[in-house]
Amino acid sequence: MNKKFLVTGGAGFIGSAVVRHIINDTQDSVINLDKLTYAGNLESLESVENNPRYVFEKVDVCDAKALTRVFEQHQPDAVMHLAAESHVDRSIDGPAAFIETNIVGTYTLLEAARAYWNDLSDEKKLSFRFHHISTDEVYGDLEGTDDLFTETTPYSPSSPYSASKASSDHLVRAWLRTYGLPTIVTNCSNNYGPFHFPEKLIPLMILNALEGKKLPVYGNGMQIRDWLFVEDHARALYKIVTEGVVGETYNIGGHNEKANIEVVRTICGLLEELVPNKPAGLAKYEDLITYVTDRPGHDVRYAIDATKIGIELGWKPQETFESGIRKTVEWYLNNKKWWSRVLDGSYNRERLGTQ
């Protein structure tokens, strides 16, 4: 039986990958609910926007009245909650938006979902799911080189962003324990891939290098992250919301631990191969690497143990870091229209109805 998914934050980086996956690779339907903040870009969904199984609702997850209408009108079978402020640097400069969207927004959505779920038939109640998509940053950082985050690792968030996501995780689990709302939580490692907003590390390095701009690397560049190709993540999220067990937590990782400086050098190497004609006066792309003052409270190492989802649900990433990063660099080289409209703000002006 085909399902109908309410995807919050579906115009964002991970959300749009989830929407494209559901529309392109399944027979299910999507209601994409997005406030369209700066990181929400409907141009990431042009390939599916005319599909009859896709609907867009411009709604803020903090707007309880609008959420009630969406639930009543569209009658979803499951919620996939991805709407969130997610940039660590922005959370340090202005934490208020993170508290509002990630904590208050999650609470408001939980209450709207609970009211809707309470009125469902017994059969539909049993099959309904509230899937909350979170981050490995809630665990803090790892000291040992062999340690991994598991589903039972204690929370120790370091930034306003990760603290707000930790809070939302706790709310979701409380709504299961207190009210019986059938929830699932997932925590993922660093995503990368097509349609990634250019303020993030990988697209920033690609686009700066193409323009001959400096490649800013925090501290000594030895911070380690586990990199997950966004389309692998989308496949994992769909598998979890359709096959996962209520009340469970699943960690999703790419099995690709890389130091930031290694990631940047890999990008430079690919650009040497794919774009040998460099900006004037540049001998090699690596010459653009510039070390800058580290961010406050910067976590040193994240690494996910994704054993559980592999054993229990049979998921594993299809992309290695080498194949995924090549696909990513090639996508940015072939989709200048998309990222140039982000960089010059034209996607934003049209979204806001301004010139």
Both structure tokens of 247: 């009340």
Q: Say whether pLDDT at 346 is over 60.
A: yes
User: What secondary structure letter does DSSP report for 188?
Assistant: E
**Catalytic residue from among 43, 137, 226, 299:** 137
Higher pLDDT, 10 or 254: 10
Q: Write down the pLDDT at residue 99.
A: 93
Alpha carbon 40 to its chain's center:
12
Confidence of residue 62 (pLDDT cuts 50, 70, 90): very high
Both structure tokens of 335: 């989709």
The SS3 call for residue 194 is coil
Q: Say whether pLDDT at 173 is over 60.
A: yes
Q: Write down the pLDDT at residue 147.
A: 84
pLDDT digits (tens, 9 = 90+) for 226-237: 999 999 999 999
Q: Write down the pLDDT at residue 352.
A: 52
CA separation, residue 264 to residues 224, 267, 285, 337 (Å): 12, 5, 10, 23
| Angstrom distance (rounded) from CA 109 to CA 57 | 14
**How do the domains of the chain map onto residue ranges?**
4-195+227-255+301-319
Average pLDDT over every residue of 233-250: 98
Q: Write down the pLDDT at residue 87.
A: 65
| Angstrom distance (rounded) from CA 68 to CA 186 | 25
Tell me if residue 305 is catalytic.
Answer: no
Residues 254/202, Cβ–Cβ less than 8 Å = no
pLDDT digits (tens, 9 = 90+) for 92-107: 878 898 999 999 999 9
Q: What CATH number is given for 4-195+227-255+301-319 in this structure?
A: 3.40.50.720
Tell me if residue 143 is catalytic.
Answer: no
**Catalytic residue from among 28, 136, 226, 257:** 136
Q: How far apart are the first and last CA of the chain?
A: 45
Strand 54-58 versus strand 190-192 pairing type: unpaired
Average pLDDT over every residue of 330-354: 81
CA separation, residue 222 to residues 157, 219, 254 (Å): 20, 8, 19
| Angstrom distance (rounded) from CA 138 to CA 353 | 36
Q: Which helix (H) or strand (E) covers residue 8, if one does? A: strand 4-8
Confidence of residue 349 (pLDDT cuts 50, 70, 90): low
pLDDT over 70, % of the chain: 95
Tell me if residue 137 is catalytic.
Answer: yes
**Catalytic residue from among 161, 192, 285, 302:** 161
